[in-house]
Structure 1
Amino acid sequence: MKAAVLKTIGHSLEVMEWPDPQLGTGEVLVEVGYAPVLPYTKDVITGKRQYLLEPPLVLGAGAVGRVLQVGPDATVLKPGDWVLCDATVRARDNPLFPDITLQGWSARGEGGLVLQRYFRDGSFAEKIRVPTECVVPLGEVDASFAPYWCAMGTLLVPFGGLVAGHLQPGETVLISGATGNFGSSAVAVALAMGAGAVVTPGRNVKMLDELVRRFGARIKPVVLTGDAITDQEAMRSVAGPVDLVLDILPPSVSSEVSRNALLAVRPYGRVVLMGGVGMLGGPELELPYPWIMRNNITIRGTWMYSSDTPVKLVRLVKSGLLNLQQWRVTKFPLNQIDAALHFAAVDQEPFTLTVVEP
């Protein structure tokens, strides 16, 4: 099959012939229809993101496609089904503390690398072998709509964070990083889940205005000034008490920005940390012990999401509460993978989606 292979960190992807994946028990073979290209894919390839990867491997996290073959233990899936391939692969031999790898993307720790050595090849290929539990049926899908399902790769992350933070209908949630790729998706998901108001701090006024134009009065923008006291007060007051803060800032942002957002949460409020702050070095996130204790603040770290999250998000889309067609999709054939990577890196406005079509 044709695949885009990362032979070594720091070298460009090479589109080449690659061995077809061989199906085993507990696995599904999927013909890749479309695979999302994340804006920071080049940072993974160059090693800037410092992800755990052991090349050579086929890069690419997640896909939308059709089932080619199922293992002998599959009871629902059948050839021809449209499915979402979730890149988050969990070890099956320790349900309490499962090791995790992101197929074709990264691993968490040594246990994650063990998984990666088997489920190593990702979605920039004509076919992909996926654990059965990572294959989510989509039901009837119009072929012209299929590329939009690739937005799930970005939506799943903030959805997992909001679920972990127990967002309730009518609550006010603050999205720290709201003008970015994952952050703007978090805004859409929070509204679909019934948030009464979504506070969107940021410096990019154009993107803040776009969120208001797109979603209306429930969006409460805050233009950050860089002054901690001023910014915290603005975030606290723009929509009343903040029940939940979801921080999903990228590694390039200072921890001070995260800290200011976290300190805007109300007493007895919740905070979910799932961004990349600190991954590239710099000052740590310093939060005041007395403030956390006396205000009964709950702080939770969340990496990715629970195993049932993709099914729940598919249902949210199918219900009509979350409209994937608000994304603008740009498609590239697999043999133009370099052009796709470049386009994804520069086309980073909210609700834009780059995909490859093997």
Structure 2
Amino acid sequence: MRAATLTAFGSPLTVGEVPDPEPGGGDVLVEVLATVVAPYAAEVFSGERKYPLEPPVVPGVGGVGRVVVVGADATKLRPGDLVWCDSTVRARDDALTPDITLQGWSSRGEGGARLSRYFHDGPFAELMRVPTENVHPLPAGADPVRWAALGVHVIPYGGLLAGGLAAGETVLVSGATGNLGSCAVAVALAMGAGRVVAAGRNRAALDLLADRFGARVRPVGLDDLADLDPVDLVLDLLPPRAPASAARAAALTVRERGRVVLMGGVGMLGDPDLALPYPWLMRNSVTVRGQWMYPREANVGLIRLLASGALDLAPERITRFGLAQVNEAVAHAAAHGGPFDRTVLTPVA
């Protein structure tokens, strides 16, 4: 098969022939039709983000494909099925605190690194070997290129599930003008949020969100959060370069007994920590929790939101690249990381 391989950090991806993956028991072999290129992929491949990838590796984060081979333990999947392949792989030998790897992208701890050496390669290839439990059927007629954005939307969906979002509640999305933050706005509304406060610094992106979603979205600058009425839930998706003060100001908007979910990268570059005030947390019974990625069932929930039309992918801007153009795709994604702007790689033309 043909694949794009990261041979060393700081080097361009190399496209060429590599051996076909061989599925074992509990695996599914999938022909990759489409995968979204993350806007920060160039930072990962350069080594700037210091992700624990081990080159040589075929990178990427999840994708849409067609089943080629299923293992003996699969009871419903069939060759030819159109499927979503979730990148969040969990070890099968610890149900309580499983080691986790993001197939083709990252991992957590030594156990996650060991797991990644088995489920090593991602979707920047014509074929990918995926754990059976990570393969989710899609509705007939789903457009693979457009539905590849499922991998972006499912991350904030996991955060909103973690925060227990209820219909009619007000959500503040901190970092709403980025690729993930804008998805959080769309997903929160699809889940029934009464209002979404979209907080960010990019005024043009904030206006775009307001134009698309109307009165249920209130755009707010990150410097204007002190003037807000209390909100029910805060979802922080600020990137690593954002100051902790911005995340802190967003968290402090939550009402008594409100919830704060942290999913962004604040502090990952060595900047000061969040430092929320102990008396405020205690006296107001505020819940603060971190959430890395999402639970497995979030994939099914998001597929249902898309299939029902509650979450609409039609307005998204898509730029397609073939496998031979993978380095152009990485550069394009870096320059087009705004709201609802997707760079999609299509390994199988």
- TM-score for both structures, normalised by structure 1: 0.95
1:316-350 deviations in whole A, cap 9, x for unaligned?
Answer: 11111001112111100100111101111101221
Q: Distance in 2 between matches of 1:138 and 1:288?
A: 45
Whether the 8 Å CA contact 1:35–1:60 is kept in 2: the answer is yes
Counterpart among 302, 316, 322 of residue 327 in structure 1: 316
Counterpart among 216, 219, 229 of residue 217 in structure 2: 219
Is it true that 1:232 corresponds to 2:225 in the alignment?
yes
1:241-284 deviations in whole A, cap 9, x for unaligned?
Answer: 30000001111111111011001111110000011111111111
| More divergent stretch after superposition (315-324 vs 180-189) | 315-324
| More divergent stretch after superposition (41-50 vs 117-126) | 41-50
Q: Displacement of 1:232 after TM fit?
A: 3.3
Q: Which residue of 2 aligns with 1:58?
A: 58
Query: Which aligned pairs between 1:207-286 and structure 2 lie closer than 5 A?
Result: 207-225=205-223, 231-234=224-227, 236-237=228-229, 241-286=230-275
| More divergent stretch after superposition (9-18 vs 55-64) | 9-18
1:96-117 deviations in whole A, cap 9, x for unaligned?
Answer: 0010000000011101001100
Query: Which aligned pairs between 1:111-190 and structure 2 lie closer than 5 A?
Result: 111-142=111-142, 145-190=143-188
Whether the 8 Å CA contact 2:36–2:345 is kept in 1: the answer is yes
Aligned residue for 1:159, secondary structure, equals helix
Is it true that 1:204 corresponds to 2:193 in the alignment?
no
Q: Which residue of 1 aligns with 2:108?
A: 108
Q: Which residue of 1 aligns with 2:70?
A: 70
Q: Which residue of 2 aligns with 1:228?
A: none
| More divergent stretch after superposition (4-13 vs 103-112) | 4-13
Equivalent residue letter for 2:202: N
Structure 2 segments unaligned to the other structure (5+ residues): none
Q: Displacement of 1:90 after TM fit?
A: 0.3
Q: Displacement of 1:50 after TM fit?
A: 1.4
Q: Displacement of 1:139 after TM fit?
A: 2.6
Is it true that 1:296 corresponds to 2:285 in the alignment?
yes
Equivalent residue letter for 2:315: Q
**CA RMSD, 1 decimal:** 0.9
Runs of 4 or more off by more than 6 Å in structure 1?
A: none
Equivalent residue letter for 1:315: R
Counterpart among 313, 329, 342 of residue 340 in structure 1: 329
Q: Which residue of 1 aligns with 2:19?
A: 19
Whether the 8 Å CA contact 1:331–1:357 is kept in 2: the answer is yes
Q: Which residue of 2 aligns with 1:313?
A: 302
Whether the 8 Å CA contact 2:139–2:307 is kept in 1: the answer is no
Equivalent residue letter for 1:291: W
1:40-66 deviations in whole A, cap 9, x for unaligned?
Answer: 000110111111111111011111010
Whether the 8 Å CA contact 2:169–2:232 is kept in 1: the answer is yes
Whether the 8 Å CA contact 2:25–2:71 is kept in 1: the answer is yes
Aligned residue for 2:314, secondary structure, equals helix
Q: Displacement of 1:224 after TM fit?
A: 3.1
Aligned residue for 1:343, secondary structure, equals helix
Q: Displacement of 1:184 after TM fit?
A: 0.1
Aligned residue for 1:250, secondary structure, equals coil
Whether the 8 Å CA contact 2:222–2:246 is kept in 1: the answer is no
Is it true that 1:94 corresponds to 2:94 in the alignment?
yes
1:102-140 deviations in whole A, cap 9, x for unaligned?
Answer: 000001110100110000000000000000000010031
Equivalent residue letter for 1:164: A
Aligned residue for 1:38, secondary structure, equals coil
Aligned residue for 1:325, secondary structure, equals coil
Q: Report sequence identity in percent.
A: 58
Is it true that 1:34 corresponds to 2:23 in the alignment?
no
Is it true that 1:349 corresponds to 2:338 in the alignment?
yes
